[in-house]
Structure 1
């Protein structure tokens, strides 16, 4: 009787040679962990040690399990009719459908490297001796040798009690066993291959215990299985190399493409498995996530950032029943028949569901903000695609950006107008299950489904569906539904308007900053003084030379110079433009400074009038002649120029009004009438100016400018009515509110993240401090017994004591320790501040002093309110006094029940006096602009307020109780 014999190379062909690559191999090992009821599997790669570990917290293996199941190829537990009962789930877990089908998936680990150390501890009653661990060594290179049978290959196996017994000595003894078998095989294994195997065995000198007990699944604490591979195949580095996909600027590695989204977070259900995967690379102590380190995978929340979404189910006839949402509008119920099912027969693939989101290719056609669009596009370029999941576990390679299994891009290249969808602009999942879709069978090498009748139906249904909904709802030519076209036009129009508004805001901001800077820096005042100096000098020259005839010309030049200076800082707020809170603050500051500039101008005009009268007197000119004031001449010239401008503007307004009358006839007529009346009144006012009205000339000039600005606004409103791009005041207010809220959201998110980080760091720091404190106590006996060690321990203790004391300083800041208000003494606050800022005071030569009144003062309140406020104010003061070369000082005082914190720095700019308390505003380089805003909010909550004192050489802040509020007393 003849029987089959199995060559050792069978293992190599079923494992290393059959698997498409290392990412697929890792996926297979992850699936084995899932089948073992693990909730976590983790890989770690150590390039410097040429080692890879993969650990899970599943049921693990006993010695019996390893010998009768792991070492048996094609175990019947993977056969379909025995999958449900192959492994009993641990207590508290639901049964899992087994992912493996052929019982050979574990052989994929040979792809990672030529040697494998298996360490496994079983769970439950099947585990043999309590706590027993199975340790086995597999030398995969032996399985590549032609002529050897499976019986020729030795697999050393040991059982140990605890992880502490998995020592380097144990590893050496197991490798020696392989060496001995290699010697017995002799010439059957070629010399070159023998040398290679011995070199590989020589690398097994490491300690396996740290690998088994590292962060993550830990055999020292729980059952599970650990694989340790060393040395590592060179193919791993190639798989980790990030490459740019064709047609994409985003680099991504094969490792990421194949292993990201192992379970289905896109369309999770109650049956979605509780199973976490990760794979880390360690360069020294620095770890990096190799799977989601570049791009976070998709989840349900991402559909809120899609322009369009499709969700529904395909029934047993291939018909789609679901919903389509275009541009976030109300979802539309749709039903699409599968045109490939002319006979109305059941599909071979079975029913399944789908959900995907789609983002427009152009930012101008997307509802996303520019930042969101850039972020989503970057993620789509890396991990966009339609993924396939069966029982919540990903089916490879579907979803990879280079696996367009539905030929979406191929059709799009034929006609982008008809075939709307692009594979790189979509993300989503097709959800299958083993029961309904059992005829969809994966290939042996995990390279997708076998191309049988079920897969052909599956592919045809999905492809036909995308073509049909593109034609019905998104095609520029054939779509009967106008929703997408209309919405896209609206989105594009809004995007263009948003761009225009941003450009206008940027230009307005530039003009504001230029004007504010000119006034604040003194450039405007210096210019005015320069004009006055030139006027005095010129008049003195005319008087000396008795050139009375040149007096009008000189006066005109001086006045024109002043008007030119004023025009250089004259700005009007753009009508209908929503402003950010920052621009609103700048505009308010500009208006205040503009008033100051007008006062300077008024004084200059008055002085010029006096100088002219004095010069006329000195030149002996008759005093009873009409005063040909340079201001009046300026106004006459202005009248001529403005009359021409008004005539032109009136024609433009009339033209705009004619076009607008059809839409808003009465409103347009009223606008034109008001405009013409204003123009007529202005022209008449300018025409009445003569020598006897010199005193009111400047008032007329100012009035003229105001009226002209009103007319320009009227013209712009009329033009806006025609183009329908004008914004009502309510819309502008709403947009400004949205801008403010967007800014606040970003700031609040930063604060939340910062607070969470500080909380975590504080917790870890306190735990570490306790460990260091205990360690120092343990060092003391060594230091006493070893004199050279004593100075080192003393220095360490001194540094630690300083650090520990600094940490204790911040105990009062924790509100949870102070549920009730308590008396806070000024002396305690002063001592606290000296402790916090001791080092900065010394390094920067800054003095923090407190008056007797401050030291004697006391207030009833929460330390968690007052201490942070004082820290913030003093921190700011210490920053700004650095602009002084010497004598840097911060002074604490108390007057009339209020605290004062003052410094001798540069002080606060007049334009910033109110803005400094607005969240997000700040002049400090690298600052967030949140400190003073939060300080004011903290105090206000407890009945106090923070104000900036006026008339102080530096900055002086006062903390005072709100009138009528005794909550803080």
Structure 2
């Protein structure tokens, strides 16, 4: 007989997020201030903006960060029913921007809360393009620092009104007390430049402007710049570029083809090599969609061709590895300095003369959108989920590098690059006239034969006199 249970309480309930849950979405998931600003810039891109203006002002211990775009803005209904709803699925369904049909960068619906990592207060003013309705919202993030409140207990005032003098777009103002160091500002500029793809002419359609005013800084007391993508490295020793695509599926195996071109700039008058490489993806790897690959490789023991020695050494120190581009923007952290996401250093450890390390390559791999590539970004915006398609991406890139590496190795061996260089005539003459090795061997033999130090010193003196004569 089943045991009878006496029910004391029963009912249907719903999950009530604590007020500080919203801070977990922002501060807990978004890695750092640079990532937060990049997410807000991507939101402007998704809003069909032609430009976004970022302004950072630091006075004493106060900071003000503003991000303004001229996109299509939002209505009161969009703000209250979508912007205010964490993790909305709206962008997952929409996929393309409203007017320019851009591939949407934000898919998780959490980037809007990235501002909580930048300051204590958020003021948003947004004017919708068609209705010219302006909506204002004020958030004090301190209101969410409580375990006793639920999200529904935090009142947020939102107002809208018709406007005739405000242009369409969204204007965010974030106030706080965090003063950025000059090094942090350097990193922000680097992050913004690395955000943009150097291959897509994106700045003709979407421009980023940065303004910085910091009283305590000489470098950033009055700084302004239009952010441009980092230039493609024109000085390199080797380059491999082309496409990787699916050729066929045979007996359940995915067969890929890589149509590649290899250039060698180490010496002049070396013609490019065309290579078609077929390869099979291994178990646990899946085709991740069409890839466009452009990678440059460097010999760290050689100066870069066509550039001064000092400049060559400077450039080589900044080799960033291989970046991944999606929809005109780089996916972090791929391509960040010293991020060896392909494990090239470990791979080189087992074969140092053949393999390239992470600080010897710089380049880009352009992928398709998530629906076609099945490469899904993590909620933290720090790379892709490491599924079978991600493993297929890694395998495809390494296969392309494996095409370049033996050609590079053969060339270096033929031209005695990186190996022991032939001795000059002077070095050979000096070696022939030197009695240093002989002197050491005789001294060692005499010391083990119990010969007196007087005789040993006499022999050394004779050899030294002979050496002077030969010189």
Q: What residue is the counterpart of 2:388 in the other structure?
A: 453
Contact 2:48 2:98 in 1 (8 A): no
Correspondent of 1:319 among 250, 257, 261: 257
Mapped partners of 1:342, 1:454: distance in 2: 11
Displacement over 6 Å in runs of 4+? none
Partner of 2:139: 138
Structure 1 equivalent of residue 291 of structure 2: 352
Distance 2:122 2:142 in 1: 11
| Partner of residue 14, structure 1 | 25
Shift of 1:232: 4.2
Q: Which one has a bigger Cα radius of gyration? A: 1
Aligned pairs for 1:860-875 (under 5 A) are: none
Equivalent residue runs for 1:522-541 within 5 Å: none
Per the TM alignment, residue 406 of structure 1 is displaced from its structure 2 partner at its CA by 0.8
Shift of 1:3: 2.2
1:232/1:393 CA distance change after superposition, 3 Å: farther
Aligned to 2:169: 224
Which of 25, 36, 40 aligns to 2:51? It is: 40
- Are 2:354 and 1:418 aligned? yes
| 1:463 to partner: Cα distance | 2.4
SS in 2 for 1:324: strand
* 1:657-736 to 2 correspondences below 5 Å: none
1:341 aligns with 2:341: no
In structure 1, distance between residues paired with 2:285 and 2:347:
27
Q: Where do 1:60-75 residues align within 5 Å?
A: 60-75=73-88
Which of 12, 37, 52 in structure 2 is aligned with 1:26? 37
Q: Is the Cα–Cα contact under 8 Å of residues 42 and 56 in structure 1 kept in the other structure?
A: yes
| In 1: Cα distance, 2:350 partner to 2:223 partner | 42
C-alpha distance in structure 1 between counterparts of 2:391 and 2:285, whole Å: 13
Q: Residue 309 in 1 paired to residue 228 in 2? A: no
SS across alignment from 1:230: strand
Q: Is the 8 A contact 2:319 2:360 kept in 1?
A: no
- CA distance in 2 between counterparts of 1:287 and 1:70 reads 34
- Contact 2:285/2:388 (8 A) holds in 1: no
2:117 is the alignment partner of 1:111? yes
Aligned positions of 1:781-820 closer than 5 A: none
Secondary structure at the residue paired with 2:398? helix
- Write the mapping of 1:427-576 to structure 2, written as runs, cut at 5 A: 427-434=362-369, 437-470=372-405, 472-475=406-409, 479=410, 482=411, 484-486=412-414
Structure 1, residues 432-463: CA drift from partner, whole Å, max 9, x if none?
11167431111110111111111112112222
Q: How does 1:354-373 map to 2 (within 5 A)?
A: 354-364=293-303, 366-370=304-308, 373=309
Helix, strand or coil: the match of 2:144? helix
Q: Does 1:264 align with 2:197?
A: yes
Query: Does structure 2 conserve the Cα–Cα contact (< 8 Å) formed by 1:281 and 1:290?
Result: no
Alignment map for 1:523-672 (pairs within 5 Å) = none
Q: Is 1:277 matched with 2:195? A: no
Separation in 1, partners of 2:139, 2:311: 46
Indicate how the Cα distance of structure 1 residues 398 and 489 shifts in structure 2: closer, same or farther if over 3 A, else same: closer
- Aligned partner of residue 136 in structure 1, secondary structure: strand
**TM-aligned CA deviation for residue 142 of structure 1:** 1.6
Query: How far apart in 1 are the matches of 2:288 and 2:55?
Result: 38
Matched, 1:52 2:65: yes
Q: Describe the shift of the 1:392–1:46 C-alpha distance in structure 2 as closer, same or farther (beyond 3 A).
A: same
Are the counterparts in 1 of residues 286 and 392 from structure 2 also a CA contact under 8 Å? yes
Correspondence 1:82 to 2:94: yes
More strand by share: 2
C-alpha distance in structure 1 between counterparts of 2:282 and 2:139, whole Å: 55
1:123 partnered with 2:129: yes
- In 1, distance between residues paired with 2:292 and 2:382? 22
**Unaligned stretches of 5+ in structure 2?**
1-11, 247-254, 425-471
Q: What is the match of residue 231 of structure 2?
A: 299
Shift of 1:356: 1.8
Other-structure match for 1:615: none
Shift of 1:229: 0.8
CA distance in 2, matches of 1:330, 1:224: 51
- Bigger relative contact order, structure 1 or 2, given CA contacts below 8 A and separation 6+? 2
Give, in whole Å, the separation in 1 of the partners of 2:177 and 2:396: 43
What residue number does 1:917 align with? Answer: none
Cα–Cα, structure 1 residues 35 and 254, in superposed 2: closer, same or farther, change >3 Å?
Answer: same
Whole-angstrom CA distance in 1 between matches of 2:372 and 2:191: 22
Secondary structure of 2:194's aligned partner: coil
* TM-aligned CA deviation for residue 223 of structure 1: 1.6
2:156 corresponds in structure 1 to 155
Equivalence for 2:341: 405
Q: Which digits, 9 at most, give the CA deviation of each residue in 1:188-240, with x for residues without a partner?
A: xxxxxxxxxxxxxxxxxxxxxxxxxxxxxxxx663211111111445xx26x5
Q: Tell me: CA distance 1:461–1:140, structure 2 relative to 1, closer, same or farther (3 Å).
A: same
- In the other structure, the counterpart of 1:623 is none
Extract unaligned runs of 5+ from structure 1.
164-219, 243-251, 497-969
Deviation at 1:428, TM superposition (A): 1.6
CA distance in 2, matches of 1:272, 1:46: 25
Q: Which residue of 2 aligns with 1:330?
A: 271
**Native 8 Å contact 1:115 1:229 kept in 2:** yes
Does the 8 Å contact 1:310/1:355 carry over to 2? Answer: yes
Q: Which residue of 1 aligns with 2:326?
A: 390
Other structure's SS at 1:378 match: helix
Report Cα offsets for 1:485-526 as digits up to 9, x if no partner: 556769x99xx9xxxxxxxxxxxxxxxxxxxxxxxxxxxxxx
Tell me by how many angstroms 1:36 deviates.
0.4
Q: How many residues align?
A: 393
- The aligned runs of 1:821-860 (5 Å cut-off) are none
2:107 aligns with 101
Do the aligned partners of residues 351 and 58 (structure 1) sit closer, same or farther apart at CA in structure 2, a change above 3 Å counting?
same
* Deviation per residue, 1:231-262 (Å, 9 max, x gap): 1445xx26x526xxxxxxxxx95434533222
Alpha-carbon distance between aligned partners in 2 of 1:23 and 1:147, rounded to the nearest angstrom: 31
Native 8 Å contact 1:263 1:275 kept in 2: no
In structure 1, C-alpha distance between the alignment counterparts of 2:353 and 2:417, rounded to whole Å: 16
Residues 332 and 383 (structure 1), Cα distance of their counterparts in 2 relative to 1, 3 Å cut? closer
* SS of residue in 2 equivalent to 1:323: strand
Change (3 A) 1:59 1:16: same
In 1, are the aligned partners of 2:237 and 2:264 still within 8 Å (CA)? yes
* 1:321–1:297 distance in 2 versus 1, CA, 3 Å: same
In structure 2, relative to structure 1, the CA distance for the partners of 1:221 and 1:322 (3 Å cut) is: farther
The residue matched to 2:95 in structure 1 has which SS? helix
What RMSD in Å do the two structures reach over aligned CA positions?
A: 3.2
Q: Alpha carbons of 1:148 and 1:104: their partners in 2 closer, same or farther (altered >3 Å)?
A: same
Give the Å deviation of 1:468: 4.0
Q: Which whole-Å CA distance do the structure 2 matches of 1:436 and 1:72 have between them?
A: 24
